[in-house]
Chain A
Amino acid sequence: AQSVTQLGSHVSVSEGALVLLRCNYSSSVPPYLFWYVQYPNQGLQLLLKYTTGATLVKGINGFEAEFNKSQTSFHLRKPSVHISDTAEYFCAVSEPWGGATNKLIFGTGTLLAVQP
């Protein structure tokens, strides 16, 4: 069964700093990988995704992530964060063969707090 591990439940950085949020997956074959952001009292918004092809993927709001098959990782980073990036970030995986058993499974989440 696939699973997702996010290291660090809470990350605090200063505005303008580089931030790296870690995600590792466990799956027998490379799954589809996603990063979602959740602002307080809101639903989830897709930041970026990896399915196939180029391992560095760029998303919205200046975020990017790199798929590393050998390390089974999909870490999220942003070179210079803004206070408005303060939110909960979830890494998620789904099986590429999908179909009727399609599931999106979430990691435990990382709360990013950007300080002025």
Chain B
Amino acid sequence: DTEVTQTPKHLVMGMTNKKSLKCEQHMGHRAMYWYKQKAKKPPELMFVYSYEKLSINESVPSRFSPECPNSSLLNLHLHALQPEDSALYLCASSQTPGADGYTFGSGTRLTVV
């Protein structure tokens, strides 16, 4: 299995809702990442997990809460989002330190209404 699987593919949520994005990989990668991508922009790093521990938080607002339950799963919990949080959310994984490259999922298209 050489894929990163993200669910759901599309999500529409209200500003008072709580939702979660899920990411799964079975490549034995020990680093997992969340990126946010706005239209016509490059992906921006949000969080890095290394060996299931949060190693980098790029000053992301607390309405985004990451979780890594085990080495294959990465979640992003969403609460009280704003319309400007609408974006494509990409999950990625890699071996550390990443010389073999980073494998990306196809993303979750999030719309906050």
Contact = CB atoms under 8 A, between A and B. Distances in A.
- Tell me whether A and B are bound partners: yes
Interface of A: 32, 34, 36, 41-46, 49, 51, 90, 94-109
B77 interface: no
B50 to A, nearest CB: 5
28 contacts: A32-B97, A43-B4, A43-B90, A43-B107, A44-B43, A44-B90, A46-B103, A49-B99, A51-B99, A90-B43, A94-B98, A94-B102, A95-B97, A96-B99, A97-B97, A98-B96, A98-B99, A100-B55, A100-B56, A101-B55, A102-B31, A102-B55, A102-B97, A105-B45, A106-B43, A107-B42, A109-B40, A109-B42
A106 B92 CA distance: 13
Size band of the interface chain B makes with A: 20 to 34
Contact of B106 (A32, A43, A107): A43
A85 B90 CA distance: 22
Nearest to A32: B99
A45 B102 contact: no
Contact of A108 (B33, B42, B90, B100): B42
Nearest to B102: A104
Nearest to A96: B97
Interface of B: 4, 6, 31, 33, 40-43, 45, 48, 50, 55-56, 90, 92, 94, 96-107, 109
User: Which 6 pairs of residues, A with B, have the shortest CB-CB distance?
Assistant: A98-B97, A106-B42, A43-B106, A100-B55, A44-B104, A43-B104
B103 to A, nearest CB: 7
Nearest to B50: A100
Of A45, A94, A104, A109, which is in contact with the most chain B CB atoms at under 10 Å from its CB?
A104
B86 to A, nearest CB: 14
A105 B43 CA distance: 8
